[in-house]
Amino acid sequence: MSEEKTDNLDAVEGIKSHLRQVDLNLLTVFDAVMQVQNITRAAQMLGMSQPAVSNAVARLKLMFEDDLFVRFGRGIQPTPRAWRLFESTRQALQLIQNELPGTQFQPHTSERVFNLCICSPLDNLLTSLIYNRVKKLAPHIQLQFTSSLNQNIEQQLRHQEGSFVIGYDELPGSEFSCIPLFYDEMVLVVGNSHPRLNNLKREQDIYQEQHAVVALDSFTSFSAPWYDTPEKRSMVAYQGMAMTSVLNVVSQTNLVAIAPRWLGEEFAASLDLKVMPLPLRQENRRSYLCWHEAAGRDKGHQWMQEILISTCHR
Residue 219 has pLDDT above 90, yes or no: no
Write the pLDDT tens digit of every residue in 180-202.
Answer: 999 999 999 999 999 999 999 99
- Which alpha helices (DSSP H) does 178-298 contain, by range? 203-206, 230-233, 243-251, 261-271
Arithmetic mean of pLDDT, 237-245: 95
Q: How crowded is residue 220: how many other Cβ atoms within 10 Å of its Cβ? A: 17
Pairing of strands 284-292, 176-191: antiparallel
Hey, what amino acid is at 56? A
Write the pLDDT tens digit of every residue in 3-58.
Answer: 555 445 444 454 455 556 667 788 888 888 887 788 888 888 788 898 998 998 89
H/E segment holding residue 201: none
Give the whole-angstrom CA distance, residue 14 versus residue 121.
56
- Spatial CB neighbours of 295, under 8 Å, sequence gap ≥ 6: 157, 160, 163, 301
* Higher local confidence (pLDDT), 27 or 252: 252
Q: How crowded is residue 254: how many other Cβ atoms within 10 Å of its Cβ? A: 14
Compute and round to an integer the Cα radius of gyration of the chain. 25
The whole model's pTM is what? 0.72
- Spatial CB neighbours of 57, under 8 Å, sequence gap ≥ 6: 29, 30, 33, 39, 68, 69
Which span out of 6-10, 118-122, 299-303 was modeled with the highest average pLDDT?
A: 118-122
